[in-house]
Amino acid sequence: MGKNIAVFLLSVLEVIALTRSASGGDSVDEQVKMLAERYRQVEDQLPRSIRYTSKDESGGATTVRQEWYNGAEDLIKAAVERNDASGRELTEYIPHDLDSDFGWRGLFMLTRKETPLPDGGTQVEESRKYFGETEEGNGQLIRELRKSARFKSGEPTDTVHVPNMVVDLSKQNKAEGGAEEFGLGEPHELSPALRKVGPPQFFDPFANVQGDSDKYRVIHGSVSPDGRFAIAMGLPPEQSNWDALYEDENYFYENGARDYDVPNYIIDLAERKILGKTGCHYFGTKRRYNHQQCILRWSPDSLKFVQLWDDKWSSTECVAGKISPGPKLAGAVDLDKAIGKKTYAFVKKRFDSENGGAGELSLQINKVSNDGTIDLEASEQCRFGDCRGETIFKVNERLRLSDGPKGPRLEILKMRRLPNEQ
């Protein structure tokens, strides 16, 4: 497994060097690196993930399909292997936020075909495809690498030393990306029907762990990069039965008013243990309900996070938190309140305290770093009249989440005014 990861990362580094020397642009390179990092993270967590396996034997061929899911029951990898008289063909998919309808989505797709030769040798053809964002939108093929090699009888068929060929995508038929059958942009969550299959086809490492699982339900799309932690909703004070909140394969609470009754927790998925409250109150297990959505940004080491409850015109709640050794939740900070007044003062606009600690700010969290640095954009949009939908102001802000005497605290490092986007 480790050798396969090394081969994959080597391929990525090779092609990044080629692209930089040829074009000088980093946009595609950065997306390829993100997918390479996601590949590494997923491979590391497969042994402790939910796994489903199916096998079909028909027409002289044996087809094995495997799917892996994290503790939030979101798909993290799928693989299909087919063997027949003509050889062996393997296709692997590793998605990155595919069912998100905000921000960047990506997919890495590997195909490998082994064909026996008359002399006893083997012909190997490999393709590595990277899907990301272009000017045409998300889910686009942005890079393809190919390898081709012939191996003698008895010779290992490892392609680590076979050079990559970078495919000229401008000469490719865009409709033949190869990932259409995977369903780019569609939800990929564990079906309740798969759980009924049972072992050995269905394996759940969390099945015999009770922990605090009766007290929460995990929010889809909230799992940390290493698969260890997630954000979950708890029961509101007047509720004692999860069944009353279950509808259309998700849990949802709405009492007609925003009373912020639903606690949100940080969960240790392996132990199914609540580590603490995040301070946010998102109300369902789906990532999005109409305009309202729960957005998580994690640091690469999975120890810092920002949870954003976003809405159409402004952000409802936003918190930043830190996980310390143990693990335990070191604490969380109300990011809205930390930047609200200072942001309005910076742009010389009136701060409306009646609308909460952040006024009418709409937040976009760009990045959370291991050192606690948070990069975000704060803006306000016109809601009424002829200017409806226009941006009133937009500011880029860099913050740092650091340790204070009473827990984590936020400080503003830099503010920069951005052009308004109409």
What pTM value is reported for the model? 0.84
Q: Residue 395, CB half-sphere, CA atoms under 13 Å: how many?
A: 22
How many Cβ atoms from other residues are within 10 Å of residue 257's Cβ?
7
Residue 353: predicted pLDDT? 57
Query: H helices of 87-229, where?
Result: 192-195
The Cα–Cα gap between 26 and 31 comes to 9
How many Cβ atoms from other residues are within 10 Å of residue 133's Cβ?
17
pLDDT digits (tens, 9 = 90+) for 111-132: 999 999 999 999 999 999 999 8
Quote the mean pLDDT of the chain.
85
In one-letter notation, the amino acid at residue 110 is L
User: Residue 101: is its pLDDT beyond 70?
Assistant: no
- Report the percentage of the chain scoring pLDDT > 90: 61
DSSP E strands: which ranges in 152-247? 165-166, 202-203, 216-218, 229-234, 246-247
The Cα–Cα gap between 357 and 271 comes to 35
8 Å CB contact between 12 and 6: no
- Say which range, 59-68, 120-129, 145-154, 248-257, has the weakest mean pLDDT: 248-257
The Cα–Cα gap between 161 and 196 comes to 44
> Is the peptide bond prior to 200 cis by the omega test (within 30 degrees of 0)?
yes
User: Residue 406: is its pLDDT beyond 70?
Assistant: yes
8 Å CB contact between 26 and 20: yes
Return the SS3 of 271. Answer: coil
Residue 309: predicted pLDDT? 95
Residue 68: predicted pLDDT? 95
